[in-house]
Amino acid sequence: MAQIFLNQKKINKAKALGANIAQNIHDYIKDYTTDSVERSVLRLYGVDDADDEKTPLCNKIVDILKKEKLINSGVSKYFAAAMLKTDSHANKTAEMIINNKIDLKKVLSMQSLEKISEKEQTLAQDAVSVLDRSKKVKNAKKAGFPLCEKPYRYVIVATGNIYEDCTQAESAVYSGADIIAVIRSTAQSLLDYIPSGATTTGFGGTYATQKNFSIMRSALDKISKQQKRYIRLVNYASGLCMPEIAVCSAFEDLDILLNDSMYGILFRDINMKRTFIDQHFSRLICTRADIMINTGEDNYLTTSDAVEKAHSVTASQIINEAMAKQALLPDDLLGLGHAFEIDPEMENGFLYELAHAMLAKKLFPNAPLKYMPPTKHKSRDIFFSICMDTMFNLASIATNQGIHLAGMPTEAVHTPSMSERHQALNSVNYVFNTAKNLCDEIEFKKDGIISKRAKQVLDSTIDLLEKINKSGLMSAISQGWFAQIKREPDKGKGFDGVIKKSENYSNPVFDIISK
């Protein structure tokens, strides 16, 4: 591994600040739940159907509980009681509730509280065993293939049509991809429900539905066998349904989820309280089901300058890591994000990129860092664009990154075609092979440009973290300290889905997986 000199005391200090910032958020969120957290509980209990208008039943039930002002106690006990009453499976029970055959207002008084609580425990244990199953299944699959070497080659498919996506994925794997991400349709993150069924009509991406997850997972299983290597599947959780997407992903054995604690707030104007609560439960599910999370710090550099605001990426990584630790995520599931986004016209820009990449490696030595290619400054001259990506590929292999998002020649034009993904992977394969062990040969000069730059970014990171720690993360966001985007604590989408827990709130799944 390439070496760079950084003061360990400073690193420890930054981490301690991050832990404190995360703890303060945690102290707030522990008293709250959200619509989406409650809907996830229902999904975990087996409610996965939708009605004729394709509204998920779990949404309808949570809406009923909200209307009846019962939601503060959590959906778990009401649903458990209803199941005792119907003596039937989850979807059937859900239908009966929705058709007014069971009155949730009265259902608790129809059984003894012990019985209800017992039923909740059984449901929760079953739910958790489904999460555990996913972990086992994935491990068994991976064991059947040789270990995949890092950096993993990651590409996105985004046709809008899940079947076409499978064709594109097959070709990408053929050209060397190890990870396939199915990016979601524009604005799905703002839907307060998960669409259902197989879909063929997305814009700039394909809808995340449980059915689509399973279609792509089976396609990749087939390709894995053909190509004799395990192909990982990625989807995106950030949005209004973070924990529910995590549940569906666990059901369908996804490997990685974009799951950032702040992305939805900054880039989709989702309410920050909602997001903080949702990301926590979502990540607990990831931990249990062995789903790696990817964070989205790279995006900050699209609205801010990559040199000027490099420290905001580092500060956010430290906060994201600390929040992930609150959700018990181990280091090997922490795909913290960063990016190669410096203006190509800057002299010695590549040296700065190496400094930033090394800093991330040094701060998170055991995390599979997610390294993003140039996007904002990508040229519409697609041939120059390939040159930019080649330099990015070199930075990635030279600093031994974890997950390498292949840059696309047409980044500044459209979502990539099959040809373009092939061109991109061609360059990645070439560079990763020709410079394979370069990282073991490098020691950056102690007082050179690169070491100095890494040190400078770390110092600015500590300053920023100190400021955030003083003001609190919510206030920091409202002052625009990340991505230069300002969001207010009580504004934004989904705020009406933030629910204060009552004294007798119950969510036994949460209790089990947060231990």
**Angstrom distances, CA of residue 344 to CA of 308, 379, 385:** 15, 10, 10
Phi, psi of 230 (to 5 degrees): -75, 125
State which H helix or E strand residue 394 sits in: helix 382-398
Residue 303, both tokens: 């609205």
Site for other proteins in 255-284 (CB under 8 A): 267-269
Single-letter amino acid, residue 106: K
Among other proteins, ligand B12, none, partner that 419 touches (CB below 5 to 8 angstroms by kind)? other proteins
- Pick the binder of ligand B12 from 378, 404, 421, 455 (CB under 6 A): 378
220/241 Cα distance (integer angstroms): 25
Specify whether 263 is catalytic: yes
Least distance from C-beta 142 to ligand B12, angstroms? 28
Minimum CB distance to other proteins, residue 352 (Å): 21
**Interface segment toward other proteins; rule CB under 8 A; list 33-41, 61-69, 136-144, 411-419:** 411-419
- Which string of x and - marks every residue 256-275 that binds ligand B12 (by CB under 6 A)? -----------x--------
Considering only residues 111, 117, 167, 514, which one is a binding residue for other proteins as defined by CB under 8 A? 167
Q: Within 411-430, which residues bind ligand B12 (CB under 6 A)?
A: 411-415
263, 300, 352, 371: which is the annotated catalytic residue? 263
Residue 390 touches which of other proteins, ligand B12, none (Cβ within 5-8 Å per kind):
none
Q: How far apart are CA 431 and CA 433, in angstroms?
A: 5
Residue 371 designated active-site: no
DSSP string covering 404-466, please? Answer: EEPP-TTTTTSSPPHHHHHHHHHHHHHHHHHTTTHHHH-B--TTSHHHHHHHHHHHHHHHHHH
In the complex with ligand B12, which residue's Cβ is closer, 121 or 302? 302
Q: Prior bond to 365 cis, omega within 30?
A: no
Angle at the Cα of 165 (from 163 to 169), degrees rounded to 5? 120
Question: How many angstroms separate the CA atoms of 111 and 118, rounded?
Answer: 11
15 vs 376 by CB, closer to other proteins: 376
Q: How far is the CB of 445 from ligand B12 (least distance, A)?
A: 33
Name the CA radius of gyration of the chain, rounded.
Answer: 23
Q: Which of 139, 171, 174, 148 is nearest to 229 (CA)?
A: 148
Residue 375 near other proteins by CB under 8 A: no
Total interface residues for ligand B12 by CB under 6 A: 19
> From CA 248, how far away is CA 208, in angstroms rounded?
9
Q: Judged by CB under 8 A, which of 35, 48, 95, 170 binds other proteins?
A: 170
Contact 423, 449 (CB under 8 A): no
- Smallest gap from Cβ 295 to ligand B12, in A, equals 13
Distance CA(400)–CA(369), nearest Å, equals 9
Residue 511 in tokens: 């209790």
C-beta closer to other proteins: residue 175 or 282: 175
Nearest-approach distance from CB 370 to ligand B12, in angstroms: 14
For residues 106 and 222, which CB has a smaller minimum distance to other proteins in the complex? 222
Binding of residue 296 to other proteins (CB under 8 A)? no
| Piece of the chain touching other proteins by CB under 8 A; list 1-9, 52-60, 186-194, 429-437 | 186-194
Closer CB to ligand B12, 93 or 189, in the complex: 189
Among 34, 59, 393, 415, binds other proteins (CB under 8 A): 415
Span 158-217, contacts to ligand B12 by CB under 6 A: 183-184, 186-187, 204-205
Q: Would you say 353 and 340 are in contact if contact means Cβ atoms under 8 Å apart?
A: yes
Selected from 40, 93, 134, 171, the binder of other proteins by CB under 8 A is 171
Is the Cβ–Cβ distance between 472 and 17 less than 8 Å? no
Cα 441 to Cα 3: distance, rounded to the nearest angstrom = 9
3-class secondary structure, 307 = coil
* Residues 105, 111, 116, 117, CA torsion sign: positive
Nearer to ligand B12, 84 or 412 (CB): 412
Contacts of 16 (CB under 8 A, 6+ apart): none
Residue 298 falls in the annotated catalytic set: yes
Report the partner that residue 183 touches, choosing among other proteins, ligand B12, none (CB closer than 5 to 8 A by kind).
ligand B12
Name which of 251 and 267 has its Cβ closer to other proteins.
267
How far apart CA 462 and CA 455 sit, in angstroms, is 11
Distance CA 73, CA 71 (A): 5
Total of chain residues touching other proteins, rule CB under 8 A: 28
412 binds other proteins (CB under 8 A): yes
Residues with active-site annotation? 263, 298, 370
Residues that bind other proteins (CB under 8 A): 158, 160, 167, 170-171, 174-175, 186-187, 190, 201-204, 267-269, 302-303, 376, 380, 412, 414-415, 417-419, 422
- Binding residues vs ligand B12 (CB under 6 A): 183-184, 186-187, 204-205, 267, 299, 302-303, 375-376, 378, 410-415
